[in-house]
Amino acid sequence: MGLIINHGSPKWWLSPDIWVTAVGASSTSAPGVANPIAGDPYNVWVKVSNPTDQAIDDWSLFILWAVPTVGPIPFSATTPLNETTIGVGAGTSKIFQAAMTWTPVFENGGHECLVAVTFNNSLPFPFPSLDGDAGPSDNWSIAQHNLGVVELKIHPRLHYAFQVCNSADEERDFVVGARQAPLAEVEWFMKGLSGDRKTYEKPGKVQSLGIVASAQPDPSELKAANPVLERVKVGPRSCRKFSLVGTLDSGTALIHVTQTIDERIVGGLSVLVRSDGK
CA dist 8 → 142, 182, 188, 225 (Å)? 11, 16, 11, 30
Does residue 197 share a domain with residue 112?
no
CATH number assigned to the domain comprising residue 127: 2.60.40.10
Q: Are 251 and 273 in contact (CB under 8 A)?
A: no
| Domain shared by 141 and 156, yes or no | no
Residue 11 domain-assigned (yes or no): no
53 and 100 share a domain?
yes
Q: Are 167 and 29 in contact (CB under 8 A)?
A: no
Q: Are residues 118 and 184 in the same domain?
A: no
Domain match, 262 and 168 both? yes
Please check whether residue 3 lies inside any domain of the structure: no
Which of the 8 DSSP states describes residue 75? G
Domain end: 146, 180, 202, which one?
A: 146
Specify if 4 maps to a domain.
no
Assess if residue 10 is contained within a domain. no
What's the pLDDT score for residue 169? 87
Look at residue 117 and tell me if it is in a domain.
yes
Domain enclosing residue 139, as ranges:
18-146
Judgement on whether residues 158 and 117 belong to the same structural domain of the protein: no
Q: Are residues 164 and 258 in the same domain?
A: yes
Residue 154 in domain: yes
Can you give 110-169 as a three-state secondary structure string?
Answer: CCCEEEEEEEECCCCCCCCEECCCCCCCCCEEEEEECEEEEEECCCCEEEEEEEEEECCC
Please answer whether residues 47 and 118 qualify as being in contact, where contact means their C-beta atoms are separated by less than 8 angstroms.
Answer: no
**Pick from 152, 183, 208: nearest CA to 270:** 183
Is residue 108 domain-shared with residue 137, that is, in the same domain? yes
Q: Total domain count for the chain?
A: 2
In this structure, is residue 271 part of a structural domain? yes
Alpha-carbon gap, residue 199 to 219, rounded angstroms: 30
Nearest to 101 by CA among 45, 183, 146, 168: 45
24/140 same-domain check: yes
Kindly give the confidence (pLDDT) of every residue in the chain, 278 residues in length, as a single tens digit, with 9 standing for 90 and above.
Answer: 799 999 888 898 999 999 999 998 888 899 998 888 888 899 999 999 999 999 999 899 999 988 888 877 777 778 889 889 999 999 999 999 999 999 887 655 446 689 999 999 887 765 666 766 666 788 888 899 999 988 888 778 999 989 998 888 899 999 999 999 999 999 999 998 877 677 788 899 999 999 998 888 888 888 888 999 999 999 988 889 999 999 999 999 999 999 999 888 888 999 999 987 65
Query: Do residues 124 and 141 share a domain?
Result: yes
Q: Which of 146, 178, 196 is the last residue of a domain?
A: 146
Co-location of 226 and 138 in the same domain? no
The answer to whether residues 62 and 132 belong to one domain is yes
Q: Residue 262, class by beta-carbon neighbours within 10 Å (0-12 exposed, 13-18 middle, 19+ buried)? A: exposed
Residue at 12 is within a domain: no
Q: Which amino acid is at 233?
A: K
- φ/ψ of 77, rounded to 5, equals -100, 10
Q: Comparing C-alpha atoms, which of 149, 146, 145, 180 is closest to residue 68?
A: 146
Domain boundary among the residues 116, 146, 176 is at 146
